[in-house]
Amino acid sequence: MTQTASQTIKVGVIGAGGRMGRMLIEAVHNNANTVLAAAIERSGSSLIGVDAGELIGQHKNQVALSDDLAAELGNIDVLIDFSLPDATEKNVQLCAKHKVAMVIGTTGLSEAQEAMLNAASAQIPVVYAGNYSTGVNVSLKLIEMAAKAFGDSADIEVIESHHKHKVDAPSGTAFMMANAAATARGQDLKQVAVYGREGQTGERKPGSIGIHAIRGGEIIGDHSVMLIADGEMVEIKHHARERMTFAAGAVRAATWVVAQAPGRYDMQDVLGLKG
């Protein structure tokens, strides 16, 4: 459904009972241009039937958590999905069938799922990003500019830090930053990435991009990209101080995507940073 800026956008949230889902519900509540119209939770959850407003400590909003996405798609303009790859695959197929726009933050899609997403984006507008923080996406643009300006004259190192509970390493955002640098230099990241350098002997290989992960405590997410040239160094840093930043960015993307033609977009498109 195509929306205008003056209309309230009806949002659905996948995984409404989880930590990210609850933050998304709160972010929808906090955005003057959006209203929660559906809150989807996994089948069998004890939260099915709970009022979504009460779930986040607000007044009742008359939206009960449901486990039937198909039944809710007629009530929403856009679905926000931060779930698991197999679940996202099914959700994309349903949204494409019902012509509902999507904002996707699920990571770890397989090549087949990526292809499926590309096919679906010919039918509906989809924003798919590894990070919905405004600051991270501005950092990606700065990294691209710096890497292009320095070219091969600077060595590039990416360092990321996250809490001890994070299950993957390096982070998806670290990959995005390393890839932004590699692409700006005309490289394929798969060919130049070096992880941690355990057991490495000899000098640093020219043109390589180092990627390093730190895990500890309750660090929400810190990223640093160092461009080290002879005689000078540029360091681009981003520090996440609260997780709501990512939820608010996803809701911002939701308000943008409903007005777009079918296609696959990312947060750089939402923020007008392309080109």
Q: What's residue 156's pLDDT?
A: 98
pLDDT-based confidence at residue 59 (cuts at 50, 70, 90) = confident
Per annotation, catalytic residue among 29, 162, 223, 238 = 162
Tell me, yes or no, if 212 is annotated catalytic: no
pLDDT in tens, 69-127: 999 999 999 999 999 999 999 999 999 999 999 999 998 899 999 999 999 999 999 99
pLDDT in tens, 118-158: 999 999 999 999 899 999 999 999 999 999 999 999 999 99
* Residue 113 near residue 89, CB atoms below 8 Å: yes
Query: In terms of Cα–Cα distance, which of 64, 70, 75 is closest to 11?
Result: 75
pLDDT in tens, 188-218: 999 999 999 988 889 999 999 999 999 999 9
Binding-site entries: 15-20, 41-42, 105-107, 129-132, 163, 172-173
Per annotation, catalytic residue among 98, 141, 148, 166 = 166
Tell me, yes or no, if 274 is annotated catalytic: no
Binding-site entries for NADP(+): 42
pLDDT in tens, 157-191: 999 999 999 988 999 899 999 999 999 999 999 99
Cβ atoms < 10 Å from Cβ of 243: 14
> What is the four-CA torsion angle of 101, 111, 176, 141, rounded to 10 degrees?
-50
CA atoms within 13 A on the CB side of 95: 34
Grouping H, G, I as helix, E, B as strand and the rest as coil, residue 259 is coil
Q: How far apart are CA 218 and CA 245, in angstroms?
A: 16
pTM of the model: 0.87
Binding-site entries for NAD(+): 15-20, 41, 105-107, 129-132
Residue 4 has pLDDT above 60, yes or no: no
Q: How far apart are CA 156 and CA 103, in angstroms?
A: 31
Domains of the chain listed by start with CATH number = 7-130+241-269 (3.40.50.720), 133-237 (3.30.360.10)
